[in-house]
Amino acid sequence: MTFRAKHLLGIEHLSSEDIKTLLDLAAHYVDLNRRDIKHNDALAGLTQVNMFFENSTRTQASFELAGKRLGADVMNMAMQASSIKKGETLIDTALTLNAMHPDLLVVRHPQSGAVNLLAEKVNCAVLNAGDGRHEHPTQALLDALTIQRAKGRLHRLSIAICGDIAHSRVARSNIFLLGKMENRVRLVGPPTLMPAGVADWGVEVYGDMAEGLRDVDVVMMLRLQRERMDGAFIPSEREYYHRFGLDAAKLKVAKDDAIVMHPGPMNRGVEIDGTLADDINRSVIQEQVEMGVAVRMAAMDLLARNLRTSRQPEGVLV
């Protein structure tokens, strides 16, 4: 096993071997999750705390389920109701929590870099569940596992990531991961939604769906991240859907067996046509959700193994 990390803060600093280790273990957990009895004791005795400072449906639910299936004691902190509202800083909250001896801390925060900062202050394993527009590592891993299972491989594929790239942590983490696994990544969207410096990212950039989707194996759609926009980035949602919303007609230029992905939450009729999103012959959106639980089980299992190793007194072999 190569995975030696203490935290899972992003994809940027993982090696392709780390990614393979995570995905292999996640594949094992996909099988476990399909059985009647879905438990093992990989996290038995450990305490997992989920701190979500931003809304979440899928990610929080799947981290919670993942921890419970592995036997951890799982606590969801209601951050809306917590002392943060009373003006306590993120660091003070973290230190307070740290005093309760959690082993795994799952954190989502609206500010890029906040989770890295927190990881420096606590002595448990920290998992980034999405920080601002920076990274969302477990999303990229679950996307990778979905692609690998649908396409039979995770290299030399052509993958179009479309829409609001500028504000998307999902796009950033996927660009890192898919690049490390030697895929061709295309970004497709209006120039106003492309991040500054995108030319140096080792990707191809397109401003037009017909060109950007030509012959790709995978089409990954993104939500307009309105909560991260300060100003008008698109003329109107109607116009945006017309030019960049994915429907069956726009998908025609992709490979015949191209798959359609979306991290959720989806805005039907804005970035994707609802009928296409539900088309089980093209859309793997439900598989993404399934892979999410398995990937989070794998990530917490591997971090817990490293945590236990680091806590063993030197020279004692167990």
Catalytic residues: 58-59, 86, 108, 136
Q: What distances in angstroms separate CA 25 from CA 3, 6, 128, 129, 214, one per listed residue?
A: 11, 17, 19, 19, 34
Q: Min. distance of Cβ 109 from ligand ASP in angstroms?
A: 11
Q: Min. distance of Cβ 163 from ligand ASP in angstroms?
A: 9
> Of 57 and 309, which has the nearer Cβ to ligand ASP?
57
Contact residue for ligand ASP among 136, 186, 250, 296 (CB under 6 A): 136
CB closest to ligand ASP, residue no: 223
In single-letter form, the type of residue at position 39 comes to H
Q: Min. distance of Cβ 266 from ligand ASP in angstroms?
A: 9
Count H helices and E strands in the chain, helices first.
11, 9
> Of 102 and 137, which has the nearer Cβ to ligand ASP?
137
> Of 21 and 174, which has the nearer Cβ to ligand ASP?
174
Q: How many residues bind ligand ASP (CB under 6 A)?
A: 7
Site string for ligand ASP, 236-275 (x = CB under 6 A): ---------------------------xx-----------
> Counting contacts by CB under 6 A, is residue 223 touching ligand ASP?
yes
Closest CA to 129 of 197, 196, 49, 189: 49
Residues 6+ apart with CB under 8 A from 276: 246, 247, 248, 251, 260, 282, 283
| DSSP code of residue 268 | B
> Of 170 and 304, which has the nearer Cβ to ligand ASP?
170
Burial 196-235 (b: 16+ CB within 10 A, else e): eeeeebebebbeebeebbbebbbbbbbbbbeebeeeebbe
Is the bond leading into 265 cis (omega within 30 degrees of zero)? yes
For ligand ASP, the binding residues in 72-131 under the rule CB under 6 A are 130
> Of 10 and 263, which has the nearer Cβ to ligand ASP?
263
Alpha helices by DSSP H, listed for 72-201, are 90-98, 114-121, 137-151, 169-180
Site string for ligand ASP, 152-191 (x = CB under 6 A): -----------------xx---------------------
What is the C-alpha separation between 236 and 252, in angstroms, rounded? 25
Q: Min. distance of Cβ 189 from ligand ASP in angstroms?
A: 14
Return residues touching ligand ASP (CB under 6 A).
130, 136, 169-170, 223, 263-264
